[in-house]
Amino acid sequence: MPELPEVETVRRGLQPAMEGAVIAQARVNRPDLRWPFPDRMAERLTGAKVTQLRRRSKYILADLDTGESLLIHLGMSGRMTVSGDPLGQFAHNHPAAAKHDHVVFDMDNGARVTFNDPRRFGAMDLLPSDNSDSHPLLAKLGPEPLGNDFHEAYLVERLSARNTPIKTALLDQRIIAGLGNIYVCEALFRAGIAPTRKAGALSKEHIQNLVPIIRDVLEAAIAAGGSSLKDFRQADGELGYFQHSFDVYGREGEPCKTPDCKGKIDRITQSGRSSFFCAQCQR
């Protein structure tokens, strides 16, 4: 499933085509994805101007001049691609309609934005813009890891006395919004912390060091266009490249990249997810 860097990459790719433009025509080609689309979604979107395109956790939110916001979740295999952009950001003309093109936005600037989702685990919803934080999918989310509300004192307070493994705590969306399995594995490696360590047993210094490390990992992934492991594509259809920079994720049995380390990358299962780490470097 796309994590924060992938969703942010898509948002930035959609921005030139959608922000400030009017949805000249919205087409909804099926009644549902992960759950039913909102009532009269195509009608409510057609003619609306996208005033802002923002991200909250792993969700994209398109604020409209109608007072509503379109919430978009890519799910496991969802892609949003742009064609025909008059600003010259994208090289492709409008492609022929594909089997899993479930929602299509024709913008008044000539761009077309297509949501394609073969596995249909994605979702869209419409909600009041001025009360978007109360939506059930957003209401309990923690602070954004790249935002001002995520800082050393906050993380120390939230992890204090927690008996869960640090890997599990960092994946808790109520503590930090948007972090997923890939980037938690990478951050813990850079911090030298084993994923099995109890969060509450970590020193204050270890927890404080995690904050800039998490930010560095996420910013590097965004700069590389995210990580393309299976289905993920950027808005122009291109792959992300951060997977070529993984230190531990997906590298089970391979040598540790730390200079002079003789260890190999191990994999264990925590809460049904694979954790990759170097037992020599992470304690």
Nearest residue to 21 via CA among 52, 53, 45, 50: 50
Q: Is 58 a catalytic residue?
A: yes
Cα-flanking dihedrals φ and ψ of residue 229, to 5°? -105, -40
Q: How far apart are the first and last CA of the chain?
A: 28
Of the residues 2, 143, 145, 165, which is catalytic? 2
Q: For residues 256 and 163, is the Cβ–Cβ distance under 8 A?
A: no
Of the residues 44, 264, 267, 273, which is catalytic? 273
Of the residues 55, 56, 58, 167, which is catalytic? 58
Q: CA distances (Å), 155 to each of 68, 111, 168, 204, 217, in order?
A: 33, 42, 14, 9, 17
Name 192's Cβ contacts closer than 8 Å, sequence gap at least 6. Answer: 281, 282, 283
> d(Cα 136, Cα 143) in Å, to the nearest integer?
16
Q: Is 144 a catalytic residue?
A: no
Q: Is 195 a catalytic residue?
A: no
Of the residues 3, 6, 68, 186, which is catalytic? 3
Q: Is 112 a catalytic residue?
A: no
Tell me the catalytic residues: 2-3, 58, 273
